Amino acid sequence: MAFVNLQNLAYKYPLTKTNALENINLQVREGEFVAVIGPNGAGKSTLCYALAGFVPHFFKGEISGEIEVDGRKSGESTLDEWVLNVGLAFQNPFNQISGAKYTVFEEIAFGLENIGVPRDEMKTRVEEAMSLTGISDLADRSPYSLSGGQQQRVALTSILVMRPRLLVLDEPTSQMDPIGTREVFGVVRRMAEEGMTVVMVEHKMEWIAHFADRVIALKEGQIFLEGTPGDVLTSDVLIENGFGISRYTSVAREAKKQGLWKKEKLPVTLDEAVEGFK
Amino acid sequence: MHERLSFHIKRDSVLHRLNPLTKLVLTLALIFLAFTFPWYWMPHLLILIAVIPLSLLGKVFREFWLTALKLILPAAGFLFLMQAFFQPIGTDVIFKFYFLDITSESLMFAFKNAMRVFVMVSAFTLFLLTTHPSELMSDLTRRGLPGQFAYVIISTLQIIPQMQAKAQTIISAQRSRGLDTESTFFKRAGSVLPLVGPLVFGSLVEVEERAIAIEARGFTSKHAKTSLHEIPDSDFDKILRWILFALIVFSIGLNLWLS
C-alpha cells in the first residue's frame, strides 16, 4: 500500500472556471523522492497544497477524489492535525518568516512551540536541523536580515525540524546559488534515505536527475508524463510540449541530429554527457 | 536593513530579569500613582525615587534619557504652555501677553500635569527598554492571552518596518517610470494611487502566504504551546506584583475618598 495515494483527484479554486487539477492518480511509496516539473499554471503548486492539506481545507473550492497519506484521508482530517504529518515549504521565503520571532533560532523553534515540544528537546532538535541544512552560523541573526537563499534555507529548516513523514517542497531553491541548490538537494535526498517521503517541485533538471527517484510532469492540471528522471527528462514529447530541458540534454540532442551523439539515450547531467561524448 | 520597532536593549540587570508582567504592573503603578495620588509633589517624587533609580538599576540610564527626552520634551513642553496660558484659574497674574495671562496657580497646575506626562512616558520607555516584546507576549500567552492576539501584536512590530521598506521600493520603482512625487501638492496627491495600490494588494497576497506558512508550522494546533525561552517568575515577582497592585488601589481609593 502506497504511503501517498491520490485517486482521481480533481480540484477547482473558488471563483475560477477551469479545474486546477484534473484526474490525478499518483502513488508514492515511503522514502521515495519524487520531483514534479511543469510549465507555469500547470498545477504544481496546487498539487503541493493538496498534499499538504491546504486544498481544500484552506482554499475551499470544489474537490473530488481522494487524498490519502499514511492511510489517512485528508477529507476526514482537520488541517491542524494534517500538518503534523505533512510539512510544506514553498517558494517565497520572505512570506514564510513568521514575523513573530527575532532570531533564526527562535524562528525555527516556532513550529515546535506551537505543537508543544518540551524546551530541552526543542533546543536539540533545532540545533540538529540547523546543522543539517548548514545554517548553524545564522542562529542569532534576524531572519529579515538574511539573503533570499539563506531565508529559503531557514524556511526549509523550519519545516524539517518538525519531522514530517511527508515533505512537500514547492521550488525551495529558486533563490539559491548553484552550490546552495546542490546542498539542499543533498539534504532532501538524505531525508528520503532516512525514510521521509518527499515531493518536490523543481525546475533544475540536472539536480533532479542526480537525486530524485521519479519525475512527474504536469501539464494543464494533469499528469502528462511519469517515470525515472533519465526517461522523462530526455523524452521528445516533453521538449515538444514546452517543458524546459537541461542544457546537457539540448546539446546532446543537437549532436545527435548531426550524428555526434552515438548513444541511444540522451544525457541530463554533466557526467552523463561527458560519458556519452567520450 | 533590519531595523525593527523595538526599543529593547539586551542587558543583564535586575530589571531585565524581572518577569515581564511584573514590569508591566510596575509601569501601570507608576502611572496611576502619578495621576491619582492626591498630593501635588507625587509625580516629582516618583521621578526622583522611582524613575531615575530604575533607569540605573536597569543599566539603561543613557539610552533611557535619550529616548525619553526625545519623546517627552515636545509633548510635555506643549502641554505645559497650553495649560499655563489657558487654564482659567487663579488671580495672581504673573505674566500677561495681550489677552493671555499666566497666573501662579495655572503655572503650578501646568507644571504638575507636565510632570505626570513625564512619569507616564518615562515609565513606558523604561518598560520597553528592558522587556523583550516576544518575552512579554509569551508570558501573557502562558497566562491565557489568546495566541492569535499575541501573534498580531508581535508580528506587527516586525512587519511594519518591512512594509516601510517595501513602500520605499515601490516609490522608487514608480518614480523611475516617471511618476511625479515631488512637484505641486495636487500632482503629488494624484500620485498616491499608483503607490498605494501595489502596496495594499501586494500585502494582501503576502498575508495569505504567511497564513499558510504559519499554519504549516502548527499555529492552530490544539496542543498546549511551549516556549523556547524560560521566562523568569520568582516569588519576589509575585510579591512585588501584589504590593504594586495594592499601591494602585490605595492611591485610587485615597483620591476618591478625598474628592
CA B212 – CA A50 distance, rounded (Å)? 12
Please give the distance of CA A254 from its chain centroid, rounded to a whole number: 31
Domain of residue A191: give its range: 4-245
CA B246 – CA A68 distance, rounded (Å)? 59
**Best interface-test mutation with B: which of A48, A54, A95 has the largest number of B CBs within 10 A?**
A95
| Interchain contact, A100 vs B158, CB within 8 Å | yes
Q: Which residues pair with B82 in a beta bridge?
A: none
What DSSP assignment string belongs to A127-146? HHHHHHTT-GGGTTS-GGGS
> Residue B66: inside a domain, yes or no?
yes
Q: What pLDDT score was predicted for residue B1?
A: 38
Nearest neighbour of B226 by CB, restricted to A90, A116, A162 = A116
Domain of residue B81: give its range: 14-131+231-258
| Lookup: cell for A214 | 521519479
B172-201 residues touching A, CB cutoff 8 A? none
Please give the distance of CA A133 from its chain centroid, rounded to a whole number: 16
Please give the distance of CA B66 from its chain centroid, rounded to a whole number: 15
d(CA A116, nearest CA chain B) in Å = 4
Same structural domain, B117 and B172: no
> pLDDT at residue A23 above 90?
yes
> Residue A256: inside a domain, yes or no?
no
| Interchain contact, A119 vs B206, CB within 8 Å | no
Same structural domain, B189 and B235: no
Domains held by chain B: number: 2
Cβ atoms of A59 and A13 closer than 8 Å: yes
| Chain A interface includes B96 (CB < 8 A) | no
Q: Which residues pair with A218 in a beta bridge?
A: A223
Domains held by chain A: number: 1
Same structural domain, B28 and B51: yes
| Chain A interface includes B164 (CB < 8 A) | no
Same structural domain, B125 and B236: yes
Q: What pLDDT score was predicted for residue B155?
A: 85
Q: Which residues of A touch B3 (CB under 8 A)?
A: none
> Residue B109: inside a domain, yes or no?
yes
d(CA B180, nearest CA chain A) in Å = 30
- Least CA distance to B203: which residue of chain A? A95
| Other CB atoms within 10 Å distance of the CB of residue A244 | 16
Nearest neighbour of B224 by CB, restricted to A96, A116, A145 = A116
Q: What pLDDT score was predicted for residue B8?
A: 84
Q: Which residues of A touch B217 (CB under 8 A)?
A: 83, 98, 110-111, 114, 158-159, 162
- Least CA distance to A147: which residue of chain B? B1
Same structural domain, B199 and B172: yes
Q: Which residues of B touch A102 (CB under 8 A)?
A: 4, 6, 132, 134, 158
Same structural domain, B156 and B250: no
Q: For residue A208, which of A38, A1, A70 has the smallest C-alpha distance?
A: A38
d(CA A111, nearest CA chain B) in Å = 5
- Least CA distance to B149: which residue of chain A? A100
- Least CA distance to B160: which residue of chain A? A99
Say what the alpha-carbon torsion angle A147, A153, A158, A161 is, to the nearest 10 degrees.
-150
Cβ atoms of A4 and A197 closer than 8 Å: yes
**Best interface-test mutation with A: which of B217, B220, B226, B231 has the largest number of A CBs within 10 A?**
B217
| Interchain contact, B213 vs A96, CB within 8 Å | yes
B199-218 residues touching A, CB cutoff 8 A? 206, 209-218
Q: Considering only the C-alpha atoms of chain A, give the largest distance between any 2 of them, rounded to a whole number of Å.
A: 64
Same structural domain, B254 and B209: no
Same structural domain, B247 and B193: no
For chain B, 259 residues long, the average pLDDT of each consecutive 10-residue run is 65 91 95 92 92 92 87 84 79 74 83 90 91 86 86 84 85 85 79 82 87 93 87 93 96 91
Cβ atoms of A62 and A12 closer than 8 Å: yes
Same structural domain, B124 and B150: no
Same structural domain, B247 and B206: no
Q: Which residues of B touch A112 (CB under 8 A)?
A: 226, 228
CA B220 – CA A253 distance, rounded (Å)? 51
Same structural domain, B93 and B205: no
ipTM: 0.91
Phi, psi of A216 (to 5 degrees): -115, 125
CA A50 – CA A44 distance, rounded (Å)? 10
Label residue B253 exposed, middle or buried (CB < 10 Å: 0-12, 13-18, 19+). exposed
Over chain A, what is the mean pLDDT? 93
Each residue of A127-185: pLDDT tens digit?
999 999 999 999 999 998 999 999 999 999 999 999 999 999 999 999 999 999 999 99
> Residue A271: inside a domain, yes or no?
no
Q: What pLDDT score was predicted for residue B84?
A: 81
- Least CA distance to B224: which residue of chain A? A116
Q: What pLDDT score was predicted for residue A259?
A: 87
What's the CATH number where A145 sits?
3.40.50.300
> Residue A277: inside a domain, yes or no?
no
